Amino acid sequence: MNADKPLAGLKIIELGTLIAGPFAARICAEFGADVIKVESPDGGDPLRKWRKIYEGTSLWWFVQARNKKSLTLDLKQAAGQRILRELLADADILIENFRPGTLEKWGLDWDALHQLNPRLVMVRLSGFGQTGPMKDQPGFGAVGESMGGLRYITGFEDRPPVRTGISIGDSIAALWGVIGALMALRHRDAGSGEGQMVDVALYEAVFAMMESMVPEYDVIGYVRERSGNIMPGITPSSIHTCSDGKAVQIGANGDAIFKRFMYAIGRSDLAEDASLADNAGRDERRDELYTAIDKWVESQTQDQVLNVLADADVPASRIFSVADMFCDPQFLAREMFTQGTLPDGKPFKMPGIIPKLSATPGSTEWVGPALGEHTDAVLSKLGYTPEHIQDLRQRKVI
C-alpha cells in the first residue's frame, strides 16, 4: 500500500459478505487502509459467484475486493475465533454485516471486543439495526429500500412501485458506515483514546436520504407519491423523448435557467411570464410547461436538443448506458476507468476511484484476491509457524 494515502496505517478487519460491509471496506482499502477480509474456507464470500462470471469468478468480485487481503477462517470453530481475536487486538476498525446476534453467539459482542481492544471502532451494518423489535430479522438492501421509503415513491403513479437497477440501499448504508467509522476515529484520536460502535441499519440509511418527506407529512399531512420521471415540487425537471426515440434529462428548475431554456425553445412568452419567475409558480403550471417542453423535444433529434441546450447553458444529458460511458470525453478526462489484470492475464477496466483527493488520491493496488490468498502471510505476521498453519489447514480452521 502507498504510505501517502490518507488511511495508510489503519488496520481494518472485514467480516462482511455480499454488498454493504464489503463496499464500506473497499472504500477504505482504496485509500490506503490495510483491509483483511475474513472469509469462510467453504467457498468464501457468495459475491465471488454473483452476476457475470469470468473463468469461474464474478467480475464484480475483482472490483469489490480490490486492495483487500483474503484470510480464510472458520469462525464456528474455537480456533478460528481465537485467531480473529488476535487480529482484532491491535485493529482500528471491524466492519461486519452479519445478522445481529451472530457475533454475540461466538463471544465476540461489542463489550467483549471493547475490553479486548479499547481503541477498536466496530461498524455494524444490518437490515434493521442492533436494537428494536425487528433487529433479529434478515434484511437485504431491497427490504431497506422498501421500508426506508425509496420504493414507495419510485415509478409511475398508475403502476406498482419499482426498484432502481442496483442494490442502492446496501451502497448507501456502506457510505454511512464509512462516515461513521471516520467520525469515531476522529473522536478516538482527538483525545478520548477509545473506540465506539457504529450501528447502521439499511432502512435508516435509505430513510435518511428522503429529503423533505418527514416534515411535509408532519406539518401538512402530505404523502409523497410516485411521479414517474418528473421531480415533484421542482419544475421543470424531467426526462423527454426526442424525434429519434432517444431520451434526454433536462433540469431547468433554476429561475434564471428556466428563462434561458424558454428562450432557447422559442417560448419567449413563457420566459417573460411573471407567474413563472419562481419554482412555486412553475410547479402550479407543471402540466402546461411539460406539454410545451415535450412538443419541442419531440421535434428534434437527441443531438439537436443537447446542442441547443448546451448553447443556452441549460443542464441536460442523454441517458447514459455503460457503452456510452466508455467513449465519453468527460468520463475519460476524469479517469473514471482504471486498468486491471485478471488472473489469466487479460486486461480489463474497473471503475475509477472517488472522491478525487488532490494530494492523497486513492488507487487500485491489486484486484480482488483468490480465496485465502493471504492466509499464510497474515498468520505468519501473527507469529504462526508453517507447521502450525499446516495443522490449522488440516483441521479446516483455515
In order of 30, 158, 205, 231, the CA distances from 200 in angstroms are 21, 34, 7, 28
Q: What average pLDDT score do residues 295-309 get? A: 97
Q: Of 74, 92, 170, 283, which residue is the catalytic one?
A: 170
Give the CATH number of domain 237-318; options: 3.40.190.10, 1.10.1060.10, 2.40.50.100, 3.30.1540.10: 3.30.1540.10
> Which pLDDT tens digit goes with each residue over 344-361?
999 999 999 999 999 999
- Separation of alpha carbons 123 and 199, rounded Å: 6
Residues 6+ apart with CB under 8 A from 101: 136
Q: Tell me: the pLDDT tens digits for 124-172?
A: 999 999 999 999 998 889 999 999 999 999 999 999 999 999 999 999 9
The pTM of this model reads 0.93
Amino acid at 35: V
**259-298 as b/e: b if 16+ CB within 10 A:** bbbbebbebeebbeeeebeebeebbebbeebbebbeebbe
Residue with cell 478460528: 80
317-328 tens-digit pLDDT: 999 999 999 999
Given 3-state DSSP classes, what are the helix, strand and coil percentages for the chain, each rounded to the nearest 5? Answer: 40, 15, 45
**Catalytic site residue 278?**
no
∠ CA 381-383-385 to the nearest 5 degrees?
Answer: 110
197, β-bridge pairs: 122
Specify the 3-state DSSP secondary structure of 187: helix
**What percentage of the chain exceeds 90 in pLDDT?**
96
User: Which regions of the chain carry the CATH code 3.30.1540.10?
Assistant: 237-318
Distance CA 40, CA 80 (A): 10
Give the angle subtended at the CA of 169 by the CAs of 177 and 17, to the nearest 5°. Answer: 65
Cβ-contact 311, 261 below 8 angstroms: no
Would you say residue 3 has pLDDT above 80? no
Arithmetic mean of pLDDT over the chain: 96
Please state, in angstroms and rounded to a whole number, the distance separating the CA atoms of residues 10 and 33: 5
Q: Is the pLDDT of residue 38 over 80?
A: yes
**1 pLDDT higher than 60:** no
What is the spatial distance between Cα 66 and Cα 338, in angstroms, rounded to a whole number?
12
Residues of the chain with CATH 3.40.50.10540: 11-208+335-394
pLDDT category of residue 2 using cuts at 50, 70 and 90: low
Which pairing describes strands 237-241 and 247-251: parallel, antiparallel, or unpaired?
A: antiparallel
**CATH T-level assignment (fold) for domain 11-208+335-394:** Rossmann fold (3.40.50)
pLDDT in tens, 46-100: 999 999 999 999 999 999 999 999 999 999 999 999 999 999 999 999 999 999 9
pLDDT tens per residue across span 272-290:
999 999 999 999 999 999 9
76: cell is 464456528
Give the per-residue pLDDT at 12.
98
**pLDDT tens digits, residue range 231-260?**
889 999 999 999 999 999 999 999 999 999
Position 223, amino acid? V
Q: Give me 189's grid cell.
A: 484520536
Residue 383 CA to chain centroid, in angstroms?
Answer: 36
Contacts of 135 (CB under 8 A, 6+ apart): 100, 126, 128, 129
Spatial distance between the Cα atoms of 42 and 369, rounded to a whole number of angstroms: 16
Residue 152's CB is within 10 A of a number of other CB atoms, namely: 17
